[in-house]
Structure 1
Amino acid sequence: MDEKSRRPARPVLWTVGLAVAAAVAYLAFLGWDREKDLDPVTGAETGPYEAWQVVGLALVVGALAFLAGRKHQVVAALAAIPVVLTLAFVVTAVTGPEPGLWPIGAALMALGSAAGTAVMALIGRSTANRFPR
């Protein structure tokens, strides 16, 4: 098989791989935590996520987007990461105890993850152009 006949599959493989990796990261960091925390002093309810969970997910998907950009797969990153994160959020929110405001959260997740993915993928692409292997 020559190089030209294998090329079209590469973006598809990147998209699928990034989608699977983003789903696993979401489940690892956020998918298991469903309970809100109650502050005994103030009575305020927080959560269900701790800051470290959100930061951890952001670091992992940011690294995925950077790597994809470095390999010139910016479109694959934008097609996979924000879509999977938004879908995972929607499923988690709709099946949770208080599903009322999920459309707002989904819109914020879609916009935020798309913006973050774009920034990190473009940074990765620019470093690939400046520092080729």
Structure 2
Amino acid sequence: MEATTPGRSRGLLWIIALGATTVAAYLALLGWDQRKDLDVVTGNETGPYEAWQIIGLGLVVAALAFLAGRKHQVLSAVVALPLALTAAFAVIAVSSPEPGFWPIGALLLALGSAAATTLVAVIGRSTASHRPA
């Protein structure tokens, strides 16, 4: 059996912590709001999310990616954040009464969050000291 290195264990802990925090933020900001809003004047449906919910989740995920980058955990962030976001989205989308095109949304969320997480984590890494923490 191969011995676990401290760096590998630290990376795994970061992945677990980032993933759990991301899912908690997703559920706190988006998970409770599943009802679409109907404008009685125009008859248009919007939602289910308000702009502040999406912006809030984006800020939390960006802060997590930046922090992980500063702590030299770019790869952990790139693995954990998009995976957790996509999984949370997919679970809620599948259980909704109108699943619709959720696989396309999940794919776009995975690709977009992976790109954004990579960018923000690399920016965070560039602001960190040169010694791993």
TM-score w.r.t. the length of structure 2 is 0.91
Structure 1 residue 69 corresponds to structure 2 residue 69: yes
Letter paired with 2:104: I
Which residue in 2 is equivalent to 1:114?
Answer: 114
- Is 2:34 the partner of 1:9? no
Separation (CA, whole Å) in 2 of partners of 1:106 and 1:18 = 19
d(CA) in 2 for partners of 1:112 and 1:81? 11
Task: Report percent identity of matched pairs.
Answer: 62
* CA offsets 1:37-82 (integer angstroms, 9 cap, x no match): 0011111000000000000000001000000000110000011000
- Distance in 2 separating the partners of 1:23 and 1:48: 18
**Residue correspondences, number:** 129
* C-alpha distance in structure 1 between counterparts of 2:82 and 2:97, whole Å: 24
> How far apart are the structure 1 equivalents of 2:61 and 2:5?
30
Q: Offset of 1:22 from its aligned partner?
A: 0.4
Distance 1:109 1:86 in 2: 6
Aligned-partner SS, 2:34: coil
Shift in Å, 1:6: 2.8
CA deviation vs aligned residue, 1:5-29 (integer Å, no higher than 9, x gap)? 5332110111110011001010011
The one-letter code matched in structure 2 to 1:32 is W
Q: How many Å separate the matches in 1 of 2:90 and 2:62? A: 20
| CA positional deviation for 1:129 | 4.4
- Distance, in Å, in 2 between the alignment partners of 1:5 and 1:49 is 43
- Relative distance call for 1:126 and 1:43 in structure 2 (3 A) is same
5+ residue gaps, structure 2: none
Give SS of 1:128's match: coil
Instruction: Name the CA distance, whole Å, in 1 between partners of 2:5 and 2:117.
Output: 29
